[in-house]
Amino acid sequence: MKNAGAYVNPQKCDRSPFCPARKACPAKAISQAKLGLLARGPAVVDQEKCTACGTCVTMCPHGAIIIRKGKQKKRA
Ligand code: SF4
């Protein structure tokens, strides 16, 4: 079974350079490609860093992030 983790629906992500979910992630697991001064790609979650804490789910204003269930990761 895969590890639990956060996944972004790129259709719902508004690609804001001020993404509150990215800023709130305690593991710094969320990134966005820089496409210009203020243009960003959709948020992407690094599954190696994600602890499935769920903070980003509550911070995303568009409901673009879900936690997929799976094997729980060990906490640091
Ligand atoms: S679930 Fe937690 S660790 Fe994973 S991307 Fe969201 S805020 Fe970061």
pLDDT of residue 3: 82
Question: Which of 25, 28, 32, 58 has most ligand 1 atoms within 8 Å of its beta carbon, as the pocket-test mutant?
Answer: 25
pLDDT in tens, 16-58: 999 999 999 999 999 999 999 999 999 999 999 999 999 999 9
Q: Which domains does the chain have, with CATH numbers?
A: 1-76 (3.30.70.20)
pLDDT of residue 75: 57
Q: What is the pTM of this model?
A: 0.88
Q: Is the CB of 8 under 6 A from ligand 1?
A: no
| In the chain, % of residues over pLDDT 90 | 86
Instruction: Tell me the CA–centroid distance for residue 21 and ligand 1, in Å.
Output: 8
SS3 sequence, the chain?
CCECEEEECCCCCCCCCCCHHHHHCCCCCEECCECCCCCECCCEECCCCCCCCCHHHHHCCCCCEEEECCECCCCC
Cα 15 from Cα 24, distance rounded (Å) = 16
pLDDT averaged over every residue in the chain:
93
